[in-house]
Amino acid sequence: MKTIVIHGTVLTVNVQNEVIFDGAIAYENGKLTYVGPTPIDLSSYDEVIDAKGKYIMPGLVNTHGHLGMSLLRGYSDDTPLQQWLEEKMWPLEGQFTGEHVKWGSSLSIIEMIRTGTTTFVDMYDHMDEVAKLVVETGQRAALCRGMIGLCSEEERKQKLADSVAFSREWHNQADGRITVMMAPHAPYTCSPEFIQQILDKAEELNLPMHIHMSETQWEVAQNVQDYGVRPVAHLENLGVFNRPTLVAHAVHLTDEEIDILAKYDVKVSHNIVSNLKLASGVAPVPKMLEKGVSVSLGTDSTASNNNLNLFEELKLAAILHKGVTFDPIVVPAEVALRMATINGADGVFQKDQLGSLEVGKAADFIMLDANQAHYHPAHNPISHVVYAGNGRDVTDTVVAGKFLMRNRELLTIDEERAIFEANRMFNLLKR
Ligand X SMILES: CSC[C@H]1O[C@@H](n2cnc3c(O)ncnc32)[C@H](O)[C@@H]1O
Q: Which positions lie near ligand X, rule CB under 6 A? A: 66, 81, 85, 89, 93, 123-125, 146, 148, 185-186, 212, 215, 274, 300-301, 304
Residue 145, marked binder? yes
Say how many CA atoms lie within 13 Å of 20 toward its Cβ.
Answer: 21
- Smallest gap from Cβ 123 to ligand X, in A, equals 5
Residues 6 or more apart in contact with residue 333 via CB below 8 angstroms: 318, 382, 383, 385, 386, 387
Distance CA 164, CA 162 (A): 5
Please say which residue, 186 or 404, places its beta carbon nearer to Zn ion.
Answer: 186
Please say which residue, 156 or 185, places its beta carbon nearer to Zn ion.
Answer: 185
Residues 6 or more apart in contact with residue 267 via CB below 8 angstroms: 63, 244, 245, 246, 247, 293, 294, 295, 296, 343, 346, 347, 349
Report what 146 binds from Zn ion, ligand X, none; CB cut-off 5-8 Å by kind: ligand X
∠53-56-61 over CA atoms, to 5°?
Answer: 140
Our finding on whether 125 is near Zn ion (CB under 5 A) is no
Instruction: List, as one string, the DSSP characters of 80-111.
Output: -HHHIIIIIIHHHHTT--HHHHHHHHHHHHHH
Q: Which residue has its beta carbon closest to ligand X? A: 146
Report what 148 binds from Zn ion, ligand X, none; CB cut-off 5-8 Å by kind: ligand X
- Smallest gap from Cβ 188 to ligand X, in A, equals 9
Residue 18, marked binder? no
Say how many CA atoms lie within 13 Å of 110 toward its Cβ.
Answer: 18
Residue 300, marked binder? yes
Distance CA 145, CA 164 (A): 9
Residue 100, marked binder? no
Report what 304 binds from ligand X, Zn ion, none; CB cut-off 5-8 Å by kind: ligand X
Strand 209-213 relative to strand 183-184, pairing = unpaired
- Smallest gap from Cβ 247 to Zn ion, in A, equals 11
Please say which residue, 87 or 409, places its beta carbon nearer to ligand X.
Answer: 87
Instruction: Give the SS3 label for residue 35.
Output: strand
Report what 274 binds from ligand X, Zn ion, none; CB cut-off 5-8 Å by kind: ligand X
- Give the count of residues interacting with Zn ion (CB under 5 A): 1
Please say which residue, 179 or 271, places its beta carbon nearer to ligand X.
Answer: 271
Please say which residue, 110 or 186, places its beta carbon nearer to ligand X.
Answer: 186
Please say which residue, 300 or 369, places its beta carbon nearer to Zn ion.
Answer: 300
Residue 185, marked binder? yes
- Smallest gap from Cβ 421 to ligand X, in A, equals 21
Distance CA 152, CA 155 (A): 5
Return the H-helix or E-strand segment holding 406. Answer: strand 402-406
Distance CA 189, CA 193 (A): 12
Residues in 244-303 that interact with Zn ion by CB under 5 A: 300
- Smallest gap from Cβ 335 to ligand X, in A, equals 24
Return the H-helix or E-strand segment holding 274. Answer: helix 272-277
Residue 379, marked binder? no
Residue 215, marked binder? yes
- Smallest gap from Cβ 141 to ligand X, in A, equals 15
Please say which residue, 130 or 337, places its beta carbon nearer to ligand X.
Answer: 130
Please say which residue, 82 or 173, places its beta carbon nearer to ligand X.
Answer: 82
- Smallest gap from Cβ 207 to ligand X, in A, equals 16
Q: Which residue has its beta carbon closest to Zn ion? A: 300
Strand 394-399 relative to strand 402-406, pairing = antiparallel
Q: Where are the alpha helices (DSSP H) in 284-341?
A: 285-290, 310-325, 333-340
**Listed residue (328, 388, 381) closest to 56, CA to CA:** 381
Please say which residue, 213 or 418, places its beta carbon nearer to ligand X.
Answer: 213
Residues 6 or more apart in contact with residue 5 via CB below 8 angstroms: 24, 25, 26, 34, 39, 42, 45, 47, 48, 49
- Smallest gap from Cβ 78 to ligand X, in A, equals 15
Alpha-carbon dihedral 302, 304, 305, 308, rounded to 10 degrees: -30
Helices 192-205 and 231-238, axial angle in degrees (round to 10): 50
- Smallest gap from Cβ 269 to Zn ion, in A, equals 9
Binding residues for substrate, by number, are: 93, 145, 156, 185, 215, 300
Residues that bind Zn ion (CB under 5 A): 300
Binding residues, by number, are: 64, 66, 93, 145, 156, 185, 212, 215, 300
Binding residues for Zn(2+), by number, are: 64, 66, 212, 300
